[in-house]
Structure 1
Amino acid sequence: MSLAEYGESRWATAMRGLEPLTMCPYEAGWRLRVLPSLGHVPVRAMTRRAVNRALHCWIADECGLSTVKNSLAVLVRVLEQAVRDGLLDANPARIIGWQREYQRAQRERTAPRSLALPGPAALDRLAARLVQRSPDGYEGWGDIVRFAAWTASRFSEVSALRAGDIDPVDWTWDVCRHTVFVPGGLRDCGYRGKSRRTVPLRPAARMLLAARLRAARHTPQARLFTGPTGGRFSTPLLREATGWDEVVVELGHEFLLRQDLRPTGLTWLAAAGVPLSVLNDVAERPSPAELRRYLPPADGPVPEASPGVPPQRSGPRP
């Protein structure tokens, strides 16, 4: 039985005694964060590692302190019920010290360039190692990781990418949906507000898309990136299938335990001289001060180039 199914069947018992004022943020945390991150995991297979990974994702998504606290608290209550029901020996959601991780993430956000991979060669090494670690050696994982980095996108957005979202004339991507977990499986959910944005596609991203677009030229709803089974995938699924945590530590990119590849993509776009108005849109319209943190020093080093991609500027174009 998955966590989503168990939570639905034992919700009233697990939440017994809570005040209505407390139930509101708990229900929101369960629906908006716990289920998308962990709803697919069987209750008996729930581990502290899985909970830690979900917690890091919530922090990386810049959820507020109270939001993270409430999401973790409702998970604790549901898994405590699972312990009472004999499904677990101990509650893996009782994590100590996560507030320190939150504070560290807050500090890291003041220097987002430090959360970027050093260059395309590092990205290729990461992608290749993730493919090697996956049980079936699925090459698609590597392409998904590369595309997410070059477009400053989330894995859930890459999962929901359709052929019709790409403008092959201007080479832009209309990021208009993402894949989320719901009871019963994964589905695509449309974006509203600032999360919907237009992302320019640089040469490396275009190369990843070219063959896929040719194959789907008559099918605008065709998915361009899929999991090993040919369908949707989620961030937790990708991380689990590729041994993400072990690989990023092995390669010296520990910050990727708490972050995705958006800081990498935004840093590289800024270094390539993308106009600030475009960068602002891709970054989902942060404050001017936050946006400036992605800009390289005027005399900063030029990022290393990958094969077939010309070296990029180290600063914004005039």
Structure 2
Amino acid sequence: MIAEPDDRAKRSLNRNAYRGQSAEQSSPRAHAIPDMKTLNRLARACGRVHRSYSDFVMLAALLAARSSEVSGLQVGDVDFGKNLVVIRRQIFPGKGGLVSKPTKSRKERRVPILEPLRPVLERLVKDKRPEDQLLVGPKGGILTTATVRDATSWDSVVAKLGLPDLTRHGLRHTGATWMADAGIPLHVLQDILGHASMETTRGYLHPDDRHLASAAEQANAFLSAAGQRKHARRGSTPSRGL
């Protein structure tokens, strides 16, 4: 089960298409699933073909992982003791077959296990060795984004859910968006997603800038009369000798 050779080129074309869109349309938030209920509906629809496709959807979304990183997960990457999954590698189609490489950033990253994903992970690791693939397809092979697309009739499924523009990479956008909305600090979210640039991570923040609300509260408290008096008292306090 190997993805079509031009699959990466198609994704590149999709990215280029976004360049002609408005800032709001091209935001990763615009290409994410709106809520958990819709994600479950998508997973069930894909699972009608085979449960591995449902698992692929849940892993990609709730780990905010790239499709190639889901393909590269092994049983030993799941650590229930620390409540995290370590993303170490990616597997994708290349010349002559599947290629296994480190993550895009070439660094391991740790993603917390969210409760809706826990039962999926518990089932997938059961009675397996640490070096076994965490997720395999109906015939025991490694799933890739193209095989999921073709086997599930992806375009038709997402259209029926009212998400015609949702790609498999949109699952990663989904998890990242939800974590941002949950209030996970930007620098922590950057580590979870493996972004080299903070600006890339910032794209997942809500466009209404509600993440600045607490900063405004703190600044207003400082600028208030009471805040200014408190600051003045601190400034006039004699420093103690070292």
Common topology (TM > 0.5): yes
Counterpart of 1:255 in 2: which secondary structure?
Answer: coil
Corresponding residue to 1:221 among 118, 121, 131: 131
In the alignment, what sits opposite 1:153?
65
- The letter for the 2-side match of 1:58 is S
Which has the higher mean CA deviation after the structures are superposed, 277-286 or 233-242? 277-286
Counterpart of 1:245 in 2: which secondary structure?
Answer: helix
Contact 1:127/1:142, CA 8 A, preserved across alignment: yes
Superposed displacement of residue 117, structure 1? 0.6
Contact 1:158/1:178, CA 8 A, preserved across alignment: yes
Percent same amino acid at aligned positions?
33
Counterpart of 1:269 in 2: which secondary structure?
Answer: helix
1-structure distance, mates of 2:210, 2:94? 48
What RMSD in Å do the two structures reach over aligned CA positions? 2.9
Aligned residue-pair number? 211
Contact 1:175/1:199, CA 8 A, preserved across alignment: yes
Corresponding residue to 1:139 among 39, 43, 51: 51
In the alignment, what sits opposite 1:83?
none
Counterpart of 1:174 in 2: which secondary structure?
Answer: strand
Counterpart of 1:227 in 2: which secondary structure?
Answer: coil
TM-score, length-scaled by structure 2 = 0.75
Contact 1:156/1:179, CA 8 A, preserved across alignment: yes
Task: Tell me: CA distance 1:282–1:118, structure 2 relative to 1, closer, same or farther (3 Å).
Answer: same
Counterpart of 1:180 in 2: which secondary structure?
Answer: strand
Superposed displacement of residue 187, structure 1? 4.0
Matched, 1:118 2:34: yes
Counterpart of 2:150 in 1: which secondary structure?
Answer: helix
Counterpart of 1:232 in 2: which secondary structure?
Answer: coil
Matched, 1:197 2:163: no
In the alignment, what sits opposite 1:15?
none
Gaps of 5+ in 2: 219-242
Corresponding residue to 1:129 among 45, 50, 53: 45
In the alignment, what sits opposite 1:103?
19
1-structure distance, mates of 2:22, 2:136? 33
Matched, 1:38 2:20: no
Task: Tell me: CA distance 1:272–1:129, structure 2 relative to 1, closer, same or farther (3 Å).
Answer: same
Corresponding residue to 2:190 among 260, 280, 283: 280
Superposed displacement of residue 198, structure 1? 1.7
Q: Deviations over 1:48-105 (max 9, x none)?
A: xxx6x65442246x5xxxxxxxxxxxxxxxxxxxxxxxxxxxxxxxxxxxx6x24246
In the alignment, what sits opposite 2:175?
265
Which has the higher mean CA deviation after the structures are superposed, 229-238 or 195-204? 195-204
Task: Tell me: CA distance 1:274–1:207, structure 2 relative to 1, closer, same or farther (3 Å).
Answer: farther
In the alignment, what sits opposite 1:66?
none
Corresponding residue to 2:154 among 230, 236, 244: 244
Which of these two proteins has the greater Rg computed from alpha carbons? 2
In the alignment, what sits opposite 2:237?
none
Counterpart of 2:126 in 1: which secondary structure?
Answer: helix
Contact 2:33/2:170, CA 8 A, preserved across alignment: no
Contact 2:18/2:26, CA 8 A, preserved across alignment: no
Contact 2:86/2:109, CA 8 A, preserved across alignment: yes
Superposed displacement of residue 270, structure 1? 1.3
Task: Tell me: CA distance 1:204–1:59, structure 2 relative to 1, closer, same or farther (3 Å).
Answer: farther
Superposed displacement of residue 119, structure 1? 0.6
Once the two structures are superposed, the pairs formed by residues 43-122 of structure 1 within 5 Å of their partners are 54-59=8-13, 101-104=17-20, 107=23, 111-122=27-38
